[in-house]
Amino acid sequence: MTTLHTIGYEGVDLVDFLRQLIAAKVDVVVDVRELPLSRKKGFSKGALSAALAAHGIEYVHMSALGCPKTTRDRLKLDGDWRAYERSFRAHLKSQGAAVRAVADLARRKTTCLLCFEADYSKCHRSLVARAAVAAGAPQLVHLTPETRVFDDPLRAAA
């Protein structure tokens, strides 16, 4: 049975991030950042897709499921999460094809939605995940730092 996961890379290095994905048997990572760039080493699109491919994990970027800049900027100004959710849900309604694509992918392969924030409950990826489940994706599991595995060959290779 496949699973739809979510993961954030805030506070986690690339090795621990990969370890979590491998432990969860993730087949494909769907990057739901509007822009797949990061100041954090290894988490921009090119480097991340190469690191994932080295471990047999596919990478797909779906900018349509990223949070629009105006919504992100408003949250930075007022900190109003409920307003952020309302705005992002309105955006998601116009992205039905992308949500259905994630749901379809998750029915075929163990899929993980990626964004930055460690706390999935304060990240738009949780809203994307719920929409994908409503569109037919399988069970939903949020990967968190508490699910990390520490002793394995990946650490030695880093």
Between 144 and 43, residue with greater pLDDT? 43
| Lowest-pLDDT range of 37-46, 53-62, 68-77, 145-154 | 145-154
62 has a pLDDT exceeding 50: yes
Strand partners, 29: 59, 112
Between 62 and 157, residue with greater pLDDT? 62
pLDDT given at position 1: 82
User: Which residues neighbour 58 within 8 Å (Cβ) at sequence distance 6 or greater?
Assistant: 27, 28, 29, 52, 109
148 has a pLDDT exceeding 90: no
* 28-44: average pLDDT: 97
| Residue whose structure tokens are 């990826």 | 125
135 has a pLDDT exceeding 60: yes
Query: Cβ(21)–Cβ(57) under 8 Å?
Result: yes
pLDDT given at position 147: 64
| Lowest-pLDDT range of 26-30, 134-138, 146-150 | 146-150
Angle of CA points 111, 2, 54, to nearest 5° = 45
| Residue whose structure tokens are 């998601």 | 92
pLDDT given at position 47: 98
* 43-66: average pLDDT: 98
Rounded CA separation 65/33 (Å): 7
**What spatial distance separates the first Cα and last Cα of the chain, rounded to whole Å?**
31
Tokens of 61: 């970027």
User: Which residues neighbour 143 within 8 Å (Cβ) at sequence distance 6 or greater?
Assistant: 5, 6, 7, 20, 21, 24, 112
Query: Cβ(143)–Cβ(110) under 8 Å?
Result: no
Rounded CA separation 116/10 (Å): 5
Q: What is the pLDDT of residues 75-110, one digit of tens each?
A: 999 999 999 999 999 999 999 999 999 999 999 999
* 124-130: average pLDDT: 95
74 has a pLDDT exceeding 60: yes
Q: How many domains does the chain have?
A: 1
Range of the domain at 13: 4-157
